[in-house]
Structure formats: C-alpha cells, structure tokens
Amino acid sequence: MSLHNKNILLCITGSISCYKSIDLYRRLKKAGAKVKIIVSDAATKFISPYIFESFGEEVFEDDAFKSPLSHIDLSKFADIILIAPATYNTINKLAAGIADTLITLTVAASPDKPKLLVPAMNPNMYANKILKDNLNKLAKHNFYVVSPETGNAACGDFGEGKFPEIDDIIFGVESVFKKKTLNGRKVLVTAGATREYFDPVRFMSNGSSGKMGISIANAALKAGAEVKLIALNIDDRIQYINRRIKIISRTDFNGLKESLFDEFKKSDILFMAAAVSDYGFKEKSPVKIKKSGNTGAGGTLKVELMQNEDLLKAVSKIKKDGQIVFGFAAETGSAIENGRKKLSEKSLDYIFVNDVSKDIIGGDENEGFLITKAGEVNRFEREKKESLAEKLIEEISFPA
C-alpha cells in the first residue's frame, strides 16, 4: 500500500480507542505519507501528544486561540483530513457546522479537501439516528467514512462501533485518492487454485496463491465497484482482503463452475484470475484409497485424467452486451502470440499474459502484457501485484 508524498492531517478525538491512532500514525508513515497531528483536549486524557513529538512530528493541541492562523496553515497542508477516532460529539458538531476547536475550525476551512471519518464509540451511540442522519448529511460535503467493526466495545456492549483494523483505514485513505472509474459497477473476480480430488483426502492442484486476484478485487473496490470474490483455497492470511468484498469460497472445478455461472449473470465485469485445473480425475473414490493392495515402494497406482471444460470460454458465450470479460494467461514462452490466441479463442475483451517461468506464481510481484480485443498490446514492468492491479483496473473502458 502506498501513500507516497501524500500530506495527511491526522486529527485524534477523545475515544477510548485513541491509543490505536499511534499505530495508525506509524502505518501512515510507513506507507510514505507526511503527517501532521492535532490531538483534541479529550484525546489528551487518553494519550499524550508527547508520543508523536518523540517521533519528531509537529503536534498541535486543539486550542483554537494558541496560534490564530494555524487552522488555515493546516488546511493548506492537508491533502486529506483524517479524523481517527472520530467521536459522536465531533461528528455531530461537524454536521452542525460548529467550529470551536482547532480540529473543527480546520475542517470548516477545508470544504474542498476530502475528510475521512473513522467513527469509534459505544454501539448504541453509533446506532443513534442523530448520528446516522448527520453522517448522511456529511457524505454530501466531501466526507467519507470507514465504518466501525462489530464486536465488544470497551464497556462490554456488543455491536457496531469498534475502531477498525489499521489496514482498513489505510485502504480507506488510499481509496479517497483513487479515480472512481468503476463507480456503481458490479465486479466478479476469481482467484486461487482449484483442487481436483481423487479420494476424500488427496487432490491435484497448482501453486497459484490468489494474490493477483485479491489485488484486482481490492483495486476494483477502490475504483468504486461492488466486488465479489470467488476464492479457491486461498489462505486469507497471505494478503489483506478488504472486508467490503463479498467472499464466496469454493474448492474444486465443479464448485467454481456453479458459482461462476450464477454470479456472472449479475456482474458487469469478470476478472478470471483463478488457476483452473485443465484436468480432473475420471473417477473419484468415495473412500480413502489404501496402499495395502500394492506391492510396496515402487508399486504404481494408475489414475485417469479427464479434461475439464474451459470455463472462461463457456462464460464468454453467455456474455451480454456491455459485459466485460478479462482473462489471465500463464505462459512459459511466446507470451504475446499465445495471449492473442487465447483472447480470440475465448472471445475476451482483455487478457493479461504473464511469463510464469519468472517466479510469478505464488510471488508478490508480476509483469506481463495486457492485450485488448482491439489488438493493442501494453507492456507492464515488474512491480507489486497490488500496484499492477490498480494500473490494470485503470485500463478498463466500457463500450459506449
């Protein structure tokens, strides 16, 4: 994740979750951002501004009268005003246009700057209609929200109101800066590797981790889409997946086929990043196959493989006007030539071809060629799968 050279004004208001903003600050810095901090009076009851000063940061106390023009300077500095945690009191004051502290004054002086709220409070307070109405009102005035999580609040009450994971906040900040090229679009992504079982415990698969597909799903969400991810045997610890992505977990070719055909009808774009097994076992034993009938080490077991249907080709056949199908190709040579062939045989709108002999399967980076239906070829140099996915998403254009 990158926020390279972005100026972030981090405003910390007085919730018990304030201490988490220390971690948030460190992650913003790690992502390359420049940060200035305002700590509200109430927040200083929970954390000391000295923590940030000891990291060498300029920290402003929430005193509107200490330095008369600091709200103007801070507004000019900010590419984004991040209020995390944002209390019930602060959110409602902002919606009422009150400007009686350095934080609220700076927001008042920044109507054109994006403001990202991270509400954190007791679940009953978060469910309060006054707050909900005010959040809706603020949404019309350049305010964005990272919703709180559901769980046990500090007081023990259960519900929505917990300070979210730092990853979700960083994702929210990055999203604010992204062009909403897929606003309102429904995106379906497949990722990971199918498993073909030949008895209840043994299977054939491949080394695809699902990272490219997850990166595409995250990037599509940042571009404003509603995203579903058909996840094939993905270990969800390998990479961050935003919690607004609906995950449909499937295991084998048949499961993938069922969900793919069901979901494709409801989607505007399909990104078929899954590594689908080209072969399945002709027969699957309902019980674990024993080795006892064999002659010992060196004995053989014969199994017959049967070719699976090409799902991408099949799904392209039911494609309606306006739907986009984006395929991926794994090649070990003649990338462009083979990519073109697959694009045409599978009636695709786009195909991204990579040379998998270059440590790409399971790795964090990717490189390759994007080929379009119109025949254009675009080379993408090696880079992190996350940033490459964002570039690929920007390339998508819908037929007029």
216 near ligand CTP, rule: CB under 6 A:
no
Sign of the Cα torsion 251, 257, 263, 267 reads: positive
Candidates 40-48, 166-174, 241-249, 309-317; binding stretch for ligand CTP (CB under 6 A): 309-317
The minimum distance between CB 285 and ligand CTP, in angstroms, equals 23
Q: Choose the stretch contacting ligand CTP; rule: CB under 6 A; options: 120-128, 228-236, 304-312, 385-393.
A: 304-312
Burial of residue 83, with CB atoms counted within 10 A of its CB: 0-12 exposed, 13-18 middle, 19 or more buried: buried
Cβ at position 228, least distance to ligand CTP in Å:
16
Considering only residues 120 through 149, tell me which ones interact with ligand CTP, judged by CB under 6 A.
none
**Any contact of residue 311 with ligand CTP (CB under 6 A)?**
yes
**Least distance to ligand CTP from the beta carbon of 295, Å?**
35
Q: Cα dihedral sign for 290, 296, 297, 299?
A: negative
Q: Which residues, in sequence order, are bridge partners of residue 241? A: none
* Radius of gyration for the alpha carbons in the chain, expressed in angstroms and rounded: 25
Pairing state between β 7-12 and 80-86: parallel
Asked if 329 is part of the footprint of ligand CTP (rule: CB under 6 A), the reply reads yes
Among 22, 99, 247, 330, binds ligand CTP (CB under 6 A): 330
Q: What distance lies between CA 96 and its chain's CA centroid?
A: 33
3-state secondary structure of 29: helix
Nearest to 269 by CA among 314, 215, 327, 222: 327
Whole-angstrom CA distances from 15 to 63, 169, 221 are 18, 16, 29
- CA-CA-CA-CA torsion for 135, 136, 142, 145, nearest 10 degrees? 50
Q: Nearer Cβ to ligand CTP, position 85 or 213? A: 213
Please say which residue, 70 or 354, places its beta carbon nearer to ligand CTP: 354
Distance CA 219, CA 389 (A): 6
Shortest distance, position 335 Cβ to ligand CTP, whole Å: 10
Distance in Å, CB of 310 to ligand CTP, minimum: 4
In one-letter notation, the amino acid at residue 140 is K
C-alpha angle 195/197/200, rounded to 5°? Answer: 125
Q: How far apart are CA 39 and CA 136, in angstroms?
A: 25
CB-nearer residue toward ligand CTP: 86 or 311: 311
Quote the least distance from Cβ 380 to ligand CTP, whole Å.
17
Q: Which of 57, 79, 149, 310 binds ligand CTP (CB under 6 A)?
A: 310
By C-beta, is 159 or 255 nearer to ligand CTP?
255
Residues near 67 by Cβ (< 8 Å), separated by ≥ 6? none
How many whole angstroms separate alpha carbon 71 and alpha carbon 231? 47
Binding part of the chain for ligand CTP, among 10-18, 71-79, 295-303, 306-314 by CB under 6 A, reads 306-314
Torsion sign, CA atoms 195, 198, 202, 207: negative
Between residue 270 and residue 289, which ones bind ligand CTP under the rule CB under 6 A?
Answer: 272, 274, 276, 278
CB of 114 to ligand CTP, least distance (A): 36
Shorter beta-carbon distance to ligand CTP: residue 44 or 206: 206
Question: In terms of DSSP bridges, do strands 279-281 and 305-307 run parallel, antiparallel, or are they unpaired?
Answer: antiparallel
Calpha distance 145→199 (Å, rounded): 48
Residues in binding contact with ligand CTP, number by CB under 6 A? 13
> Which one of 150-158, 178-186, 280-288, 310-318 is the stretch in contact with ligand CTP (CB under 6 A)?
310-318
Report the residue from 327, 340, 369, 370 that binds ligand CTP according to the rule CB under 6 A.
327
**One symbol per residue from 337 to 356: x for binding ligand CTP (CB under 6 A), - otherwise; what is it?**
-----x--------------
- Which residue out of 155, 306, 318, 377 is catalytically annotated? 155
Shortest spacing between CB 351 and ligand CTP, in angstroms: 8
In sequence order, what are the beta bridge partners of 149? 162
Q: Does the footprint of ligand CTP cover residue 308 (CB under 6 A)?
A: yes
For ligand CTP, the closer CB: 310 or 383: 310
Distances from the Cα of 74 to the Cα of 91, 105, 143, 154, angstroms: 19, 10, 17, 32
Q: Give catalytic status of residue 11 as yes or no.
A: no
List contacts with ligand CTP (CB under 6 A): 272, 274, 276, 278, 308, 310-312, 327-330, 342
Where in the sequence numbering do the catalytic residues fall? 155
